[in-house]
Structure 1
């Protein structure tokens, strides 16, 4: 491949289905991703969100290690304000002992979705950089205490980065995965990350992955329709504070429509030709080494077809990639 290709699955729930159905679909999607040749399959951490059943990355990854045999598996990500670094290190070292050479640990610093969730998590007001350095020390065996089990090799760390996260990652010599608003104007912050980067044993040079919704269909209109359930859910979250399960989009207020339009504008969707062109432009602006497609839609069959089309597209696309 000219660029690494991964999927980020948030275990999205769907109206009329159970949370268990969503978990089962994540397992099935990981198995298909392995068959299609994706490099990695990432899972996320959300708490108390009706539209997301993915709340425990380490547990879900343990299930996926038994359901797959080759694909790398990782978290995108574990939110360090919710956890003690030692416990995170122990969980992922255990995963690495079960699936050696296949486990990646992506971490972030996003707070809980609502104030009650933050209280329930006993969310800590700590220094993200210090927590990240401590976590790495536990994984590498250089901390004050020794975390067990000891992995045969250090578990790779990735930072799900915003502005501050980019600075922390550069100082620690860690790879970053960026998405959201940062992708609208990525050149300056990514240049700053690369210029400030301090080489490390894991990452001798800067490394950037990009994460966004990517949906491929036979026509541009069909691909855009696939974006609408997620766009409607995001609009609901922004205006009502509740992120709902995926369902057919309903009528929206003018404010909700603006939020939905922002979601659609931040995605890449269309025919294979259109998607190839837009991804090439985005990779050119970011210098990304990997695409992490965080796509979701109501229609599971259409999502599976989009994943397959993306895998075929990237495997043959002449997309320039640099670290």
Structure 2
């Protein structure tokens, strides 16, 4: 740990060209064991329904498998999307994880809706505006179940034992501050959002502000190699915005720049510019700067990679940064 710098990992279970979806999910468990062996603080998984290229649809189930595959690393979600479920069901999922893996669980909660209109219909989500309006009340209801303060007692009983983090952009940090929850901050305005959160925080489920900054990160022995680690996902995201299909991540050597439109090339460069990548010295300096500006101590490493050996080397180098 450098200057209070800690690292955690979010694995979105990105599909990889040439691997089955079963192999991808098994790979998440291998990734968790690797992160644990390197001393990472948390290993989190995500929720995406019917998104091509992202087979990780059930974070509570996948987190259970991660917990069974590991021994000490904290496990959890980033996150369970509350509009996809009744608050009682989410409380039961979180409480079951906590009962199975006491004092190891972190519950990240998000507000994203289904990816497309057919997915939202399949999730029985109804009116989008109404769902967004209801989110704060649903979140309060969820916390009531976890604390054992609701008219219905969720089982297994949690007694507020599980830390809850909001996946928060600039607008939702005020809700986290009001309810006394931790935050996982992503996007371009993390420093300003962190400041707003700290200024408005009131003790609730936790007694003091807790901030995790989320970044796509790649570290390698050269800056070019680090950039190459991130290129397949940036490429897939740029193509997805044009085609509507998020395909499995291909090896960097199979990506042909000539096949991209000028708009897609611009999107690739924008995605890379928003990430943190480079040599250990470059990445370490940038992360310390970001943590200091936000008043945070922990970085959540995100981003999918098709080069699994390169990912392992990147996380090895990050672990060395955290331990130097």
Q: TM-score, normalised by structure 2?
A: 0.93
Contact 2:146 2:159 in 1 (8 A): no
Separation (CA, whole Å) in 1 of partners of 2:159 and 2:113: 32
Match of 1:222, SS state, is helix
Q: 1:298, CA displacement in angstroms?
A: 0.8
The equivalent residue for 1:108 is: 110
Gaps of 5+ in 2: none
The equivalent residue for 1:75 is: 77
Contact 1:97 1:152 in 2 (8 A): no
Separation (CA, whole Å) in 1 of partners of 2:160 and 2:202: 21
**Cα shift readout 1:90-118 (whole Å, capped 9, x = no counterpart):** 11111111110111110010121111111
Please tell me the root mean square deviation across aligned C-alpha atoms, in Å: 1.3
The equivalent residue for 1:217 is: 220
The equivalent residue for 2:302 is: 294
Separation (CA, whole Å) in 2 of partners of 1:97 and 1:170: 27
Gaps of 5+ in 1: 317-323
Contact 2:46 2:59 in 1 (8 A): yes
Contact 1:232 1:250 in 2 (8 A): no
The equivalent residue for 1:90 is: 92
Q: 1:182, CA displacement in angstroms?
A: 2.6
Q: 1:151, CA displacement in angstroms?
A: 3.1
Separation (CA, whole Å) in 2 of partners of 1:4 and 1:148: 33
The equivalent residue for 2:196 is: 192
Q: How many residues align?
A: 312
Q: 1:151 to 1:159 in 2, by over 3 A?
A: same
Match of 1:285, SS state, is helix
Matches within 5 A, 1:184-263: 186-187=191-192, 189-200=193-204, 202-248=205-251, 249-251=255-257, 252-263=260-271
Q: 1:311, CA displacement in angstroms?
A: 1.2
Separation (CA, whole Å) in 1 of partners of 2:189 and 2:244: 23
Separation (CA, whole Å) in 2 of partners of 1:287 and 1:295: 23
